[in-house]
Amino acid sequence: MSRRNEFMLVPLDKIESNSYAARVDQNVEVNNLAESMAKHGQLADVLVRIHPACGDRFQLIYGHRRVAAARLLGWQNIRARVVNASEEEMLIMALIENIERKDFTAYEKAKIFLRLNKEFKRSYEEIAGLIGRSKAYVAQHIAMLELFTEEQMKNPEVLRLLQSLTERQARILLRIKDPDERLAMARIVVNENLCVKETEKLVGRPRENADVARDKRKSIESISDVEKIKKKVLELFEWGERKNFQPLITLRLEKEFTAFDDFPPYTRLEYRDALVQNFHLIESWKGEFKLRCEDLRVRVFGETGLATFYIHYDVVYNGRPFRSTSRVTFVFLKRGDNWYIIHEHWSPLRASDSTEIIDKAKKG
């Protein structure tokens, strides 16, 4: 018996998620919603389809947060609209409902658009017509899926970054050709909660090609700036071996910013706290103290510079020899003819990763 557009109370233990569920993070804001539902009840129905393989069960089309909140509250049933729907229809229903509610992240929309295009052979124009948006809107979202490489996507942190980025931020980041640099910039954008305008300023705009002479001059200036930044970074770690970090302090802008420390407890710290902790740590190191900078890469984007490198430590820590390698990102801002650090990110590598990086650097 067909049950299309039938409203009924459906037992929660008979509702299953499905392989076409669009939401990546099913638990987003569930606690807040549960509080609201406990106080006001269920204000909107969920949508389910009759399970294609089991007639007395259902698959959830949309309303994942409401179902999760109801389960959290210990409810036995939830009010639902029951329909017969194909897999394509199910995906389109979820898309339209959640776009209207603005519940999907840009990345979740991108995944749905791509599935409609690849699996169900819907053109960009057709997808745009379904949701009342432009073809460019669809294409620009799908482009988000090219932001990180397949290897980078194996890292759970990268999925978190994609969930946090807007489509416009992703479009700006795609101007950066090198995948590692793009990932480093994405971390900064998300961790520092930058808006689109700030992201634009950080990455800069691509150089225009209209004036060849101007481009050549800018290219020469850029090379000069790259060398300036490299020199500043390398000099910093020469001072580091002397346990003198005053040059690093001088190189930082007076404006405070956050730093991600690469020694225990590996936490995000406000600038002053990070400074004090590192000074105390350095003073505690006894005997031999060596730092080695490996694989230093610098790119310049207008008034912004990005330096990525690895630091190998060889010190005595808590009375025992300690070796470690950290991945480091410095973001520089140009003021006049000088470059200053506006952001740092330090992250320790596992021993196996450290060995691999050092071996690559020696071969390179």
> pLDDT digit string (tens) for 14-43?
998 865 555 555 555 688 888 989 998 998
Same domain, 311 and 194: no
121: in domain: no
Tens of pLDDT, residues 41-80: 998 888 899 888 887 899 998 888 889 899 999 999 999 9
Mean pLDDT of 320-328: 80
210: in domain: no
Same domain, 181 and 81: no
CB 61 within 8 A of CB 26: no
pLDDT category, 85, cuts 50, 70, 90? confident
Cα-only R_g, the chain: 26
Mean pLDDT score of the chain, rounded to an integer? 77
Range of the domain at 83: 1-102
Same domain, 278 and 340: yes
How many domains does one find in the chain?
A: 3
Would you state the structure tokens that stand for residue 195, as one six-digit string? Answer: 């808006």
111: in domain: no
Of 23, 15, 24, the C-alpha closest to 70 is 15
Same domain, 261 and 342: yes
130: in domain: no
Same domain, 95 and 62: yes
Look up the CATH number of the domain holding residue 355: 3.10.450.50
Same domain, 82 and 186: no
115: in domain: no
* Burial 211-221, CB ≥16 within 10 A → b, else e: eeeeeeeeeee
Same domain, 89 and 198: no
Look up the CATH number of the domain holding residue 13: 3.90.1530.10
Would you state the structure tokens that stand for residue 103, as one six-digit string? Answer: 């519940």
Which residue in the block uniquely carries the two structure tokens 């009840």?
41
Same domain, 176 and 67: no
Tens of pLDDT, residues 88-130: 888 888 888 777 666 678 898 898 899 899 988 999 999 999 8
Mean pLDDT of 136-153: 92
Same domain, 91 and 186: no
CB 308 within 8 A of CB 184: yes
Q: How far apart are CA 74 and CA 22, in angstroms?
A: 25
Which residue in the block uniquely carries the two structure tokens 């299953």?
16
259: in domain: yes
**Residue bearing the bigger pLDDT, 207 or 181:** 181
Same domain, 356 and 247: yes
Rounded to two decimals, the pTM is 0.57
Q: Is 339 helix (H, G, I), strand (E, B) or coil?
A: strand
CA dihedral (15, 20, 22, 23) positive or negative? positive
350: in domain: yes
341: in domain: yes
Same domain, 177 and 88: no
pLDDT category, 343, cuts 50, 70, 90? confident
Return contacts of 339-342, CB within 8 angstroms, 24+ apart.
339/225, 339/228, 339/229, 339/232, 339/305, 340/251, 340/252, 340/253, 341/248, 341/251, 341/252, 341/253, 342/252, 342/253, 342/255, 342/257
Same domain, 153 and 41: no
Q: What is the pLDDT of residue 240?
A: 60
CB 204 within 8 A of CB 179: no
Q: What is the pLDDT of residue 250?
A: 67
